[in-house]
Amino acid sequence: MAIFEARNITQSYEGVPIIEDICLALNHGEVVCLIGASGVGKSTLFQVLSGMKKPDSGGVFLNGEDITGKTGMVSYMLQKDMLLPFMNVIDNVALPYRLKGFKKKEAREKVRSYFGQFGLEGAQDKLPDQLSGGMRQRAAFMRTYFFGREVVLLDEPFSALDELTKADLYEWYLNIGGELGLATLFISHSLEEAVSLSNRVYVMSGVPGRIEAEVAIKRRGSLREFCSTSEFSEYKNRLRDLL
Amino acid sequence: MLPSPWDAVSAFVDDFSILMKHTLTTVAEALIGLAVGIVVGFAMAIIMDRFNLFYFGFRPLLIVTQTVPTIAIAPLFALWLGYGIAPKILLVSLTTFFPIAVGLVDGYRSVDSDMVDLMRSMGANEWKLFRFVKFPSALPNFFSALKISVTYSVVGAVISEWVGGVNGLGVYMIRVKNSYSYDKMFAAIILVVAVSLIFMAVVNILRRYIVFWKAEIK
């Protein structure tokens, strides 16, 4: 059974329909990508899924419970890392605990032991401006993880990074996502990224935006090996055709 | 008529103890008025940020308060409140709260809307959004505004003393002017400038420690 579901979501803005009749599901430990042209309504859909917007019709369900319009039920990360420049890395990462009412010291203690796992050992006391792009993104992932939700929504999480850093982070995310048992739904404009990371890909198109296709990706071997196979190119071509 | 710089320095040395006594009064008025201005500025900024109605309704009124000449309303305050410290504090507060309120509200409103969305998605309420994001984000604006306000505070206190008072550098200036002691007048002017510069230096030091993440534009 899917742990996270969107059922028949329709949303309009000032009377103009943006997305229509969107249905999607996310299973435990799965990485699912949402691709589509700019303006098709992907970010609007994410705002509905994260509870920031209430849809005109339809509902969002987490483990069968209706969470439509409720914030704080799923973890959400935006395209920009959104680290606060005036807080050191440990305080940025511990922010979800501060918002839950923990004292600064307690919040720090809760996150401190995870820094090695997220590849941020030694970065605890640095300011975000002192980190590289990849490290900033890792810190943002870490903060997202401490929302403490099993469902993670990522809005173009790798788009601001250079190619080498992206390749490293893809592998890292697949490993850590698997270790932590996260169910991830992410938006991407990159077909390569969609095929590299996902178990399934939803393709959105049209005005208003609808989910027009769903493609299952069977990845074999390591990510590096998979990227150099003909299957990888076939998946990319298929998605390109669907777009 | 115009004293030489040496005359002014000499007058400063001769009248040092009297000047210090008056300076203390002016500094006290400036600091208390500034403190009131900061509190009022903070309160107004929060209300204006929270409620659009106040933002669009208050902003023009705030601008009007700043177009009224200080020198014209100082005598009115003296008439209403007497020759004590109250009219001085009121005038200083009136001139200092505006930069603070405008600086802070602009800081609050310039927070990235994506950051606000992210905080809300984490379940942050208005207070937590203010405490963890908006207030710290507005601190650079606050210190820029404070730099303007501290200079206004000293000038405001002196102007207020001109129209009536017992102590203070403004009172001292009027007295020495009436006795044609322009060397002493210049000594007082230098002192007003020095006090303003010291206030600004203190603000710069505080800014360096509090807004540590943002280098100051030189």
Which structural domains are found in chain A, ordered by start?
1-74+149-217 (3.40.50.300), 80-147 (no CATH)
**DSSP SS3 for A32:** strand
* CA nearest to B115 within chain A: A82
Residues B90-101: pLDDT tens digits? Answer: 999 999 998 999
| Among A180-189, B67-76, B154-163, the range of highest mean pLDDT | B154-163
Q: Which residues lie across from A184 on neighbouring strands?
A: A31, A152
* CA nearest to B135 within chain A: A86
Under a CB-based contact definition with an 8 Å cutoff, are residues B48 and B106 in contact? Answer: no
Q: Cβ separation of B132 and A99 shorter than 8 Å?
A: yes
Strand order in the sheet with A210-216: A75-77, A151-155, A183-188, A31-36, A200-205, A210-216
Provide the residue count of chain A.
243
CA angle A131, B120, A147 (to 5 degrees): 60
CA angle B209, B213, B218 (to 5 degrees): 80
- The Cα–Cα gap between A105 and B181 comes to 62
Q: Cβ separation of B121 and A50 shorter than 8 Å?
A: yes
Residues B14-24: pLDDT tens digits? Answer: 888 999 999 99
pLDDT band at B216 (very low <50, low <70, confident <90, very high): low
Which structure tokens are listed for A29? Answer: 């430990």
Stretch 49-78 of chain A: residues touching chain B, C-beta under 8 Å? 50-52, 71-72, 76-78
**DSSP SS3 for A107:** helix
Query: Which chain A residues have a beta carbon less than 8 Å from that of B118?
Result: 76-78, 82
- The Cα–Cα gap between A35 and A190 comes to 8
Residues B152-175: pLDDT tens digits? Answer: 999 999 999 988 888 899 999 999
Q: Round the average pLDDT of chain A to a whole number and report it.
A: 86
Residues of chain B in Cβ contact (below 8 Å) with chain A: 112, 114-115, 117-124, 128, 132-133, 136-137, 139, 211-214
Task: Give the residue among A62, A25, A29, A2 at the shortest CA–CA distance from A182.
Answer: A29
* CA nearest to A82 within chain B: B115
- The Cα–Cα gap between B104 and B109 comes to 9
| pLDDT over 60 at B82, yes or no | yes
Instruction: Indicate the burial class of B31 (C-beta count within 10 angstroms; 0-12, 13-18, 19 or more).
Output: middle
Question: Please, what is the end-to-end C-alpha distance for chain B in angstroms?
Answer: 39
Which structure tokens are listed for A215? Answer: 């493609």
In chain B, what's the furthest Cα-to-Cα distance? 70
Residues A140-167: pLDDT tens digits? Answer: 988 988 886 788 898 888 876 777 777 7
Q: Cβ separation of A85 and B124 shorter than 8 Å?
A: no
Query: Which chain B residues have a beta carbon less than 8 Å from that of A47?
Result: 117
Task: Give the residue among A123, A167, A113 at the shortest CA–CA distance from A145.
Answer: A113
- The Cα–Cα gap between B31 and B202 comes to 12
ipTM score assigned to the predicted complex: 0.78
Number of A/B CB contacts below 8 angstroms equals 56
Nearest CB to A71: which of B120, B132, B136? Answer: B120
* CA nearest to A101 within chain B: B128
Higher pLDDT, B136 or B52: B136
C-alpha Rg value of chain B to the nearest Å: 20
pLDDT band at A234 (very low <50, low <70, confident <90, very high): confident
Domain boundaries, chain B: 5-210
Amino acid, res. B139: L
A83 phi, psi to nearest 5 deg? -75, 140
CATH domain B5-210 topology:
MetI-like fold (1.10.3720)
Among the residues of chain B, which ranges form H helices? Answer: 5-14, 16-50, 52-67, 70-81, 86-109, 113-121, 126-129, 135-162, 169-178, 182-210
Question: CA of B103 to nearest chain A CA: how many angstroms apart?
Answer: 18
Q: Cβ separation of B114 and A78 shorter than 8 Å?
A: yes
- The Cα–Cα gap between A155 and B105 comes to 29
pLDDT band at B202 (very low <50, low <70, confident <90, very high): very high
